[in-house]
Amino acid sequence: MKFMKKNKTIVIVGIICLVLFILMAFAVYRMFYPSSGSVYGDRLDNAPEIDNAVIEQIKSKIIDSNLVEEVKYETNVAVMKFFISVKDSTKLADAQKLGDIILDTLSTKVTSFYDIEIYLTNENNKQYPSIGYHSKSASSFSWTNNVGEEDEE
């Protein structure tokens, strides 16, 4: 007791430092071990549901165009990705019109929330690969400028 009375200032500063250290340790723990919840935060709270039947309908419409060999689909957070392998005889301009099939089939609610990417590939045609991107605020796809092997030097 004599020590506390004699060194009142040191004891008060020590208690304050101890409290601050406990608060700092708690903050560091919360930073490295956040509470349970979505990994993506609240970005997907109002996301419209993408029906698998609509995706299958898009795939079948694209395949029915007779320009395509295979269609794969993935979604990543707020991005819909279509990987389309086109036939050797398919012209790039015709393949890029496949994006319109996707936009026409999806609802405006979905297209106004998700970004859409299309990857057109063909190993035997030098016009490919080509990538199309549709932002949720855009009205149509924008396509990459195709830089093939002939342009590289």
CATH number of the domain encompassing residue 109:
3.30.300.190
Query: What total of structural domains would you count in the chain?
Result: 2
Question: Is 42 a domain residue?
Answer: no
> pLDDT truncated to tens, each residue of the chain (153 aa)?
777 778 888 889 999 999 999 999 999 988 888 776 666 666 667 778 888 898 899 999 988 888 888 999 998 888 999 999 998 888 888 888 888 888 888 888 888 888 999 999 888 878 788 899 999 888 888 888 665 555 444
Cis preceding linkage at 129, omega within 30: yes
Domain that holds residue 21: 2-32
Question: Is 122 a domain residue?
Answer: yes
